[in-house]
Chains A and B, each alone.
Chain A
């Protein structure tokens, strides 16, 4: 059973809508991640938070806006998305995220997003 919980599991939104994806972990991890995954492809890193501060932004369009309210929670705010943004969005966490670290990244089940 995954210890990273994501809601909602499925989301359909129009291109003018504003919605949010939510993620929670209770493993005491200090790094949290958002990944985007298309079918049969590897996950693509979007954002990393380390100790509640944004440490990596992989040049993600501003229509995706991450937020880390505390060390257990991670949100992804969505606004004015395009149909090509339809994908599985995975939240993940790890104990740390620094260099020279082999920490395991634990993934949630994902949120399936469809933009119509």
Chain B
């Protein structure tokens, strides 16, 4: 069975500081990995995804993530955050033979001035 662990439930950070949101997964088969963002009172929006190929994935709004197979991680990074990045961030995994997306519990990013 697959699972996803987001290691931090809340991450407070000051504006223009770098941020890393951590995500680890477990799976015995190949995976597809996703990061979604949910701004207050909105639906979920795809930030980026890893399917195959280059392990460094660039997404929207200046975010990027690196797939590390040996550490079973897919951490999300941004070099300089803005107030508008305040949101809930969800990591999700889909294992090759599973039709469903498995979600982490989410990380609440709070960017303070």
Contacts and interface: CB of A to CB of B under 8 A. Distances in A.
Interface size class of B (residues with CB under 8 A): 20 to 34
Contacts of B13: none
Interface stretch (A12-20, A77-85, A92-100): A92-100
A100 B97 contact: yes
A56 B100 contact: yes
Contacts, number: 54
A45 B43 contact: no
Interface string A55-84: 110000000000000000000000000000
Mostly, the A contact residues are loop
Interface of A: 2, 4, 40-43, 45, 48, 55-56, 90, 97-102, 104-110
Given A42-B104, A90-B44, 7 more contacts: A42-B105, A43-B103, A45-B101, A100-B97, A104-B46, A107-B36, A110-B43
